[in-house]
Structure formats: structure tokens, C-alpha cells
């Protein structure tokens, strides 16, 4: 709900502070007093284009500040504010400020945080719904008609939305499987050739590292072969050092009992023989491990070359070749078994499509029934609003499959025909702005719907009508405003008398300076303003009495 509006240096308004409350508020004033200026100022808050012509003559800049309060902020609006990193605590007002410079530049703020004007336009629909002479939003916009009809019908779309998502997933899975099989089939010959190459080599996990280590070890063996051969005499042959040590141990063993030192010497010699034996074993193992075999080395290097060449061909590492081989086998197996899987996916997609269509058809039928009820309800409102020659129709048409969606397979649009025999046309194409506003009022009354915005404004809905029609308009505006906030710019005393609050817009001049101001009228002021609206320039006692009767009757 709009709670406050502050305007500085907008055209004829020098400074203005207005407070608003719930219910029906009416704004009146003589023609040319500046009612449009208020709407232009509010338009800046809603993200309209900044026009330097709005800045009061002689001033550098103008500003408008509006405060809104919510019992519960709409979730979609909160998401937009969250995306813009604007944190508003529950119960905290939303304060929008727009500043316009004389050169046409502008800045926007939400709760003192700079924002883009695009964000103001995004949240405008949640704040103010404006119906006037050039209405192109709200109920006029066909994009919202389906949601309005569903709300009127009490349609539960949760199941349909779930069925749509399931249908879309099934279609995507089927399309992905088809693409994969088509891609694999197109590459089948190449895949078979690649797999044949891999099968011929049979690469193994960590094989590259093992081959490289074997090659390096063999290359070291070639380098150390001379040294190892020279060391071989230490343990081979009867005259080797180890053989002599063993002979000395046997001789010492015969005489060791003759003296303790001989026994100790024998023990030391035995230990030396054991250590020498270990050394002999290690030298034998090293010689065997580093045995240089030119044929084996050539085999290892050829294998490494082939593996690395194949890895480059497949744009992977040698260690990844086994995985690549398994992947090729799986892909080729998938081609062979793909038709069966494809059939299963196609069957699932067809079932999901059928489930969606069944629910969508039920929603379609519910919409058609609700459309007929809504047409009757709107028709009942037309005659009291001097639209008895007009006809209203809710068009529900089924869309082609490429336009189906989570909300069903229907297009919904509100159509009117203003004259007998005339074709039905969209609301937006109606010729008369006054007629359009009354159609909007009739539709809103029939829908018993507040439009989703916290504040609804009707601009001169009573243009060109009076008497009973104006009374009917006022009664319906008051009914719509009962549980919300509705502002009406009006020239009709019958509408003004229905207002819970009454603002009078007046223009005054001091020398060459002209200013527009707005007064919140008390009971006496209301009676006098409505009397003026009834009688014109000269307010008569009869007009005052009639104004009092209108107010009491409202």
C-alpha cells in the first residue's frame, strides 16, 4: 500500500507531502489544476522515462519519494529485490526515491541504495496498477489474462506443472539418446578401427611407467656391465677372495679350540663370510636386473613408441588408453543395444506426453466453464456502467504443441465488442479511454480481484458520464477498495462522495509564479468541494445540501 508521497520541484509543484491510507481515496480539482502532474511524478517511481521537462523551471533537479508498506511482500517481488541485494526486513517500508536533473539524467534509490531504473519497472506491477486514458498494462495486457482466469476459476496448476516438467525431461532424455546413437553410428567405422588398434596393443594400467623404468634400468646395466664383470672374480672361481676366506675359516676351525682368541677370530671370520655372501647375492641380483639385452631393449622402446603414438592419436595419456578402449567397447555395445533403449525412452516420453495432455485438457475444460461464468458476470456489470450495447468475451483457444507450457496449452484473452454487430477485439484496441476504464472496472468487479498491486489507480474513469452511471462507478470503486487501497482521479461528485479520503488539487498564482498544491480535505472541505463539482464556479446552498446527501448516501 502506498503510504506517503513526497514531491519536490516537479513542474508546478514546488514541495508536496501526501499521506495515504487504505480504502478509496479520491483526487479532485478543476481542469488544468495539475492532476496529471501527480501521476507523472508517481510514474517516475514506477520506472517511467525521466523527462527534463518535469523539472520545475529555474531548478537544477527534481525528486519524488514514495513509501510502500506490505502485510506480506509478494514472493516474486522479494526475489527481484534479493537478486539486487536489497535486504528489507518484514514490516519494514519500501522507500523508492527518484531524482531527475534538468539535463535529463536521473538516479533511482530503494531504501537509500542506488538501483537501476529497470528494477523499478520490474517491481512496478507489484506496487501500483494504473488504469487511465492510455492504459497498456494490468488487465489490458493479454499476457496476464490466463492467470486471472485461473484465479477466478480456482484452478490448481501444481499437478499440471509437475506433469509438464516430467514430460520435458522425458523428451530431453529421448532426444539426447537419439543424438548419441546417431553420433555413435556415424562414427562406428572409425570407432571399430580405433578399437582394433587398441586391441592389438592391449595397453595395461601403469604400463608406461613400468616400461620406462625397465628401459632405464637396462640402459644402466649396459653402462655398468664392465664394472660388474670386474667384480665377478671376487666370488666366482676357486681362487676368488670369498673362496680363500672360506678356506681360511675351515683351517681356523681345526685349531680354534687351542685358544680363546682363535675362537673369537673364527667367529669374526664367519661373520665376514656371511656378509660377503650377502654381497655376493646382491651383486648377482643387480647383475641379473641390469642384464643388458639389446633385443629386449628394442622391444621395450618399440612398445613405448607405439603406446605414446596411440595416446597422441586419442588425445589422452598412455595410462588413459585402457579407459578409452573400454569406452569404445561400451559405445559400440550401445549402438547394438541402443534401439531397445531408445524404444523404452520413446515409450516413457509418449506416456509423459499423454499424462500432460490429460491434465491440460482438464484445465482447458475448467477454463472454458469459468470463461462462460466470467462473461456472464462482466455482462451484468456493463449496463449500470453505460456499456449496455457492449459485449464481453473470454477467448480460450488451444495452442499448437510448440507453444505448450507449464501453464497448459491454452491462450486466454479478454475481448470486447463495443457496438452491436461489431467484431470482438482485444481490450487494448478499444477506441475510448473512458470506455476502457469502465470495462476494466466491470472486469475487476466480476473477478473480485485487486490486480496483485498494493495500490490501484483509476484516472478519470468517469469521463463523459454522470448521474446514475457515475453513482454505479463510485459504488463499484468503493467495493473494490474495501479490503485494499484504490485511488481515483475523478470529475464526478457521485464518485468523490464515495471516497474515504478526499484530496483536492488546486493551482495558485503569485505574480508570475504558478504553483500546484494538494489539500487533504476534512468533512466540511469535502462537502464544499463536492458542491463545487455539482454547481460549477458559484457554489449554492442547494449544491451544498445535495453534496451532503451524496456524502451521507455514500
Q: How far apart are CA 515 and CA 16, in angstroms?
A: 11
The answer to whether the beta carbons of residues 35 and 505 sit under 8 Å apart is: yes
* Closest listed residue to residue 328, CA positions, set 513, 203, 161: 203
Grid cell locating 281 = 647375492
The CB density around residue 375, as the number of other CB atoms within 10 Å, is 17
- Give the relative orientation of helices 467-480 and 433-447 as an angle to the nearest 10 degrees: 50
Provide the pairing of β-strand 485-489 with 23-28: parallel
Provide the pairing of β-strand 113-115 with 94-101: unpaired
Please give the pLDDT value at position 539. 86
Q: What single-letter DSSP state applies at residue 319?
A: G
The answer to whether the beta carbons of residues 440 and 131 sit under 8 Å apart is: yes
Q: How far apart are CA 190 and CA 157, in angstroms?
A: 50
Q: What single-letter DSSP state applies at residue 55?
A: B
Please give the pLDDT value at position 529. 92
Q: Which residue has the cell 537544477?
A: 60
10-residue stretch averages of pLDDT, the chain, 554 residues long:
92 89 90 77 90 88 94 87 88 93 91 93 88 62 87 90 96 89 76 87 86 75 59 64 78 83 85 80 68 74 88 89 87 72 90 96 96 93 86 94 94 89 80 72 77 77 81 89 89 92 86 79 92 84 91 81
Residue 273 phi, psi (nearest 5):
-65, -40
Please give the pLDDT value at position 109. 95
In three-state secondary structure terms, 79 is: helix
Sign of the alpha-carbon torsion through 279, 283, 286, 288 = negative
Beta strands in 92-136 (DSSP E): 94-101, 106-110, 113-115, 128-131
Q: Which residue has the cell 521537462?
A: 53
Residue 26 phi, psi (nearest 5):
-115, 145
504 pairs with which residues across the strands?
28, 519
Q: Which residue has the cell 480504502?
A: 23
Grid cell locating 394 = 473470454
In three-state secondary structure terms, 408 is: strand
In angstroms, the first-to-last Cα distance of the chain is: 23
Length of the chain: 554
* Closest listed residue to residue 323, CA positions, set 312, 311, 338: 311
Please give the pLDDT value at position 244. 77
Q: How far apart are CA 24 and CA 461, in angstroms?
A: 14
The answer to whether the beta carbons of residues 449 and 418 sit under 8 Å apart is: no
Please give the pLDDT value at position 522. 93
DSSP code per residue over 189-236: HHHHHHHHHHHHH---TTHHHHHHHHHHHHHHHHHHHHHHHHHGGGTS
Grid cell locating 65 = 519519494
In three-state secondary structure terms, 69 is: coil
Q: How far apart are CA 126 and CA 356, in angstroms?
A: 31
Grid cell locating 365 = 475444460
Grid cell locating 118 = 529497470
Q: How far apart are CA 106 and CA 117, in angstroms?
A: 9
List the domains of the chain with CATH numbers.
Answer: 1-126+499-520 (3.40.50.300), 159-433 (no CATH), 521-554 (no CATH)
3-state secondary structure 510-538: ECCEEEEEEEECCHHHHHHHHHHHHHCCC
Beta strands in 285-336 (DSSP E): none
Does an H or E element contain 6, and which?
strand 2-10
In angstroms, what CA-CA distances link 363 with 26, 398, 413, 519?
40, 11, 16, 50
Amino acid at each position: 500500500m502506498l503510504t506517503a508521497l513526497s514531491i519536490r520541484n516537479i513542474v508546478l509543484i514546488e514541495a508536496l507531502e501526501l499521506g495515504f491510507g487504505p480504502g478509496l481515496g479520491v483526487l479532485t480539482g478543476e481542469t488544468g489544476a495539475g492532476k496529471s502532474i501527480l501521476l507523472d511524478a508517481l510514474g517516475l517511481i514506477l520506472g517511467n522515462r525521466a523527462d527534463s521537462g518535469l523539472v520545475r523551471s529555474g531548478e537544477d533537479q527534481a525528486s519524488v519519494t514514495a513509501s510502500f508498506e506490505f502485510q506480506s511482500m509478494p514472493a516474486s517481488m522479494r526475489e527481484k529485490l534479493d537478486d539486487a541485494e536489497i535486504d528489507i526486513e518484514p514490516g519494514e517500508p519500501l522507500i523508492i526515491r527518484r531524482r531527475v536533473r534538468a539535463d535529463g539524467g536521473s538516479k533511482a534509490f530503494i531504501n537509500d541504495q542506488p538501483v537501476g531504473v529497470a528494477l523499478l519497472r520490474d517491481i512496478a506491477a507489484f506496487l501500483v496498477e494504473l488504469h487511465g486514458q492510455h492504459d497498456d498494462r494490468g488487465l489490458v495486457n493479454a499476457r496476464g489474462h490466463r492467470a486471472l482466469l485461473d484465479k477466478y476459476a480456482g484452478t490448481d496448476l501444481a499437478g499440471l506443472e509437475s506433469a509438464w516438467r516430467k514430460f520435458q525431461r522425458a523428451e530431453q532424455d529421448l532426444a539426447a539418446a537419439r543424438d548419441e546413437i546417431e553420433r555413435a553410428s556415424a562414427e562406428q567405422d572409425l570407432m571399430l578401427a580405433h578399437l582394433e588398434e587398441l586391441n592389438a596393443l592391449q595397453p595395461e594400467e601403469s604400463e608406461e611407467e613400468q616400461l620406462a623404468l625397465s628401459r632405464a634400468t637396462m640402459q644402466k646395466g649396459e653402462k655398468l656391465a664392465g664394472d660388474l664383470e670386474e667384480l665377478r672374480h671376487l666370488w666366482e672361481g676357486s681362487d676368488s677372495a670369498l673362496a680363500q676366506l672360506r678356506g681360511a675359516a675351515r683351517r681356523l676351525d681345526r685349531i680354534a679350540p687351542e685358544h680363546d682368541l682363535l675362537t673369537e677370530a673364527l667367529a669374526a671370520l664367519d661373520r665376514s663370510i656371511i656378509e660377503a655372501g650377502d654381497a655376493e647375492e646382491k651383486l648377482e641380483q643387480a647383475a641379473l636386473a641390469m642384464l643388458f639385452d639389446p633385443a629386449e631393449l628394442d622391444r621395450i622402446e618399440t612398445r613405448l613408441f607405439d603406446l605414446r603414438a596411440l595416446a597422441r592419436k586419442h588425445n589422452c595419456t598412455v595410462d588413459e588408453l585402457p579407459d578409452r578402449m573400454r569406452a569404445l567397447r561400451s559405445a559400440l555395445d550401445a549402438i547394438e543395444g541402443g534401439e531397445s533403449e531408445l524404444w523404452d525412452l520413446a515409450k516413457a516420453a509418449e506416456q509423459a506426453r499423454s499424462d500432460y495432455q490429460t491434465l491440460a485438457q482438464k484445465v482447458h475444460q475448467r477454463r472454458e466453464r469459468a470463461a462462460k461464468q466470467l462473461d456472464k458476470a462482466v455482462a451484468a456489470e456493463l449496463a449500470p456502467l453505460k456499456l449496455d450495447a457492449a459485449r464481453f468475451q473470454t477467448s480460450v483457444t488451444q495452442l499448437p504443441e510448440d507453444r505448450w507450457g507449464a501453464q497448459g496449452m491454452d491462450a486466454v484473452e479478454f475481448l470486447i465488442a463495443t457496438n452491436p454487430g461489431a467484431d470482438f477485439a482485444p481490450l487494448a484496441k478499444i477506441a475510448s479511454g473512458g470506455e476502457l476504464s469502465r470495462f476494466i472496472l466491470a472486469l475487476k468487479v466480476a473477478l473480485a480481484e485487486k490486480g496483485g498491486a498494493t495500490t490501484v489507480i483509476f484516472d478519470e474513469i468517469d469521463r463523459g458520464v454522470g448521474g446514475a452511471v457515475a453513482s454505479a462507478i463510485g459504488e463499484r470503486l468503493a467495493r473494490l477498495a474495501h479490503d485494499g487501497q484504490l485511488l481515483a482521479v475523478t470529475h464526478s461528485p457521485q464518485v468523490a462522495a464515495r471516497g474515504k479520503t478526499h484530496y483536492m488539487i488546486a493551482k495558485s498564482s503569485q505574480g508570475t509564479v504558478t504553483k500546484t498544491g494538494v489539500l487533504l480535505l476534512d468533512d466540511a472541505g469535502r462537502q464544499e468541494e463536492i458542491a463545487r463539482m455539482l454547481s460549477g464556479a458559484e457554489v449554492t446552498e442547494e449544491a451544498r445540501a445535495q453534496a451532503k446527501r451524496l456524502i451521507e448516501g455514500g
